[in-house]
Homo-oligomer: A and B are copies of this chain.
Amino acid sequence: MDKESLLKVLGLGHLVGKNPSLDVHSPIDGALLAKVTLTTSQETQEAIHRALEAFEIWRAVPAPKRGMLMRLFADELRHHKEALGTLVTLENGKILQEGLGEVQEMIDIADFVVGLSRQLYGLTIASERPAHKMLETWHPLGPIGVISPFNFPVAVWCWNFALAIVCGDPVIWKPSEKTPLTALAVVTLFKRALSKFSEAPPSLLEIVIGGKDCTLKLLESPHLPLISATGSTNMGRTIAPIVAQRFGRLILELGGNNGMILTPSADLSLALKAILFSAIGTAGQRCTSLRRLIIHESLLDTFLPKLQKHYQSIKIGDPLKDTTLVGPLIDEHAFEKMQQALQAAQQQGGTVFGGERVLEEEYPRAYYVKPAIVRMPTQTDIVKTETFAPILYVISYKNFADALEMHNDVPQGLSSCIFTNDLREAELFLSSQGSDCGIANVNIGPSGAEIGGAFGGDKESGGGREAGSDCWKTYMRRATNTINFSSSLPLAQGIKFGENN
């Protein structure tokens, strides 16, 4: 499908609005994909108000009906999986398999919440007072602001959106300025689903495309009780206090500095595959990308050369091609950051393998790089810093306890894994004294979570959790109810108040 047809299929034929002011380039070749109109601060405000009005209607629609809308949306996504996945690749540069995987993740979560919409379980709770009934119920919260990143332009948003919709909350979406097209395409698909569903207000989903002004409007609005933002730790540090000050809730999905402990008993061929997928996939631009390989010293001499050999043979290039495994970096800035990191690593004692720009001639306005492996003597400052690029730091360990300590000795806490066939090592890694990350896997890389679990991490990774498990609770408000159906008024804790007067 050529670009024009693709955009048409996704309902983006007339994309260029009034006053198009944002140029969207493909990282694949730097070509202009489209011009998009930026949302003004005033329009953002209006969008918030429309969402607020939508909330008044939507919260009264029974949750299982809200789920039906998500089923319709899932069907739209299933139907346009190929097109939407391709657009993800075009706009973001990840390889098509990953673009499709992202859409599949949207479908998965949308299917999941259809079932969830008949649950949203609260509790009935035993009351200490006779003829009293105690309950905990969950109610819709209000319009949600979702700020999504370029690297997962649609899946991360959809984790939030799917939960929000069945929980009764409209969504205002601010996609990354680097990937507005996929966002606009998704909005179109959702509107199609919406048109088949009579009970929903049109403003269930509002999109705003813009910069700091726009973002600030969302952060500061008293009408958005929850802001869910995915991005860098720096971004999180800036926005968290703004929302906290107005007692807004926050779901922050920030940086990761994800490690793998590779132990002597590991299945090395599995480990190798996992490293490749998680260290070079999405060109190292996943929040869950593998960035640190903590390898047992006994494996170093055999495994590292093997890994380097595989790095050598990886196909870099056009991400739409079947054989490509590494596409471009998102932009020049990313490329520069990567080079700076590699320099710093060298200065801090590292030996760099790979990392240089390639295909410059073919794509002068795009930034393709060889994924880098950097052998480090110790876990220096640069290793503790997240660089959003395909750099894998390799550090060796002697004792398992040291490996664990090194693993946790970074400010981030998103994802982690161990490759081992040793039960005790595996369980220790998963225990309260093991990995301090929100995601800790055994014999799976740090990337590629299923939607059934909670996604997110602690420390500088922000503390938010999204997708499965009971993450939906963050999108609702909790009410504790006690109903007295007796004819007296006993007090809790057996207090007597004025009863002998």
Contacts and interface: CB of A to CB of B under 8 A. Distances in A.
Interface of A: 59-65, 67, 71, 97-98, 100-102, 104-105, 108, 111-140, 168, 225, 236-237, 240-245, 247, 249-250, 252, 254, 267, 270, 273-274, 276-277, 281, 313-315, 322-323, 325, 420-424, 426-428, 430-433, 435-444, 448-455, 458-460, 462-463, 465, 468-470, 477-489, 491-498, 500-501
A479 B423 contact: no
A173 B224 CA distance: 33
A273 B486 CA distance: 14
B485 A443 contact: yes
Contact of A244 (B124, B250, B454): B250
A239 B427 CA distance: 38
Contacts of A241: 240-242, 244-245
A97 B496 contact: yes
A-B residue pairs, 7 tightest by C-beta = A115-B115, A241-B241, A427-B485, A244-B244, A122-B124, A63-B126, A118-B452
Nearest to A120: B126
A54 to B, nearest CB: 14
Contacts of A250: 244
Given A111-B71, A241-B245, A489-B444, A482 B460 contact: no
B440 A481 contact: yes
A128 B485 contact: no
A127 B448 CA distance: 13
* Main secondary structure on A side of the interface with B: mixed
29 contacts: A60-B130, A60-B433, A62-B127, A62-B128, A62-B130, A63-B126, A64-B126, A64-B452, A98-B497, A104-B493, A104-B494, A112-B118, A118-B128, A118-B451, A120-B126, A124-B136, A125-B453, A129-B450, A131-B428, A134-B453, A247-B459, A423-B443, A426-B483, A430-B481, A431-B485, A441-B483, A442-B482, A449-B480, A450-B482
Contacts of A138: 124
A91 B250 CA distance: 38
A448 B247 contact: no
Given A64-B452, A123-B123, 4 more contacts: A98-B497, A135-B430, A247-B252, A453-B482
A435 B130 CA distance: 17
A313 B105 CA distance: 55
A435 to B, nearest CB: 7
A250 B380 CA distance: 31
B438 A458 contact: no
A489 B421 CA distance: 14
Nearest to A68: B111
Contacts of A433: 59-60
Contacts of A443: 423, 483-485, 489
B480 A444 contact: no
B487 A267 contact: yes
B493 A453 contact: no
Contacts of A101: 491-495
Given A125-B469, A479-B435, A483-B443, A276 B424 contact: no
A303 B488 CA distance: 19
B325 A498 contact: yes
Contacts of A274: 489
Contact of A484 (B438, B442, B470): B442
A126 B450 CA distance: 10
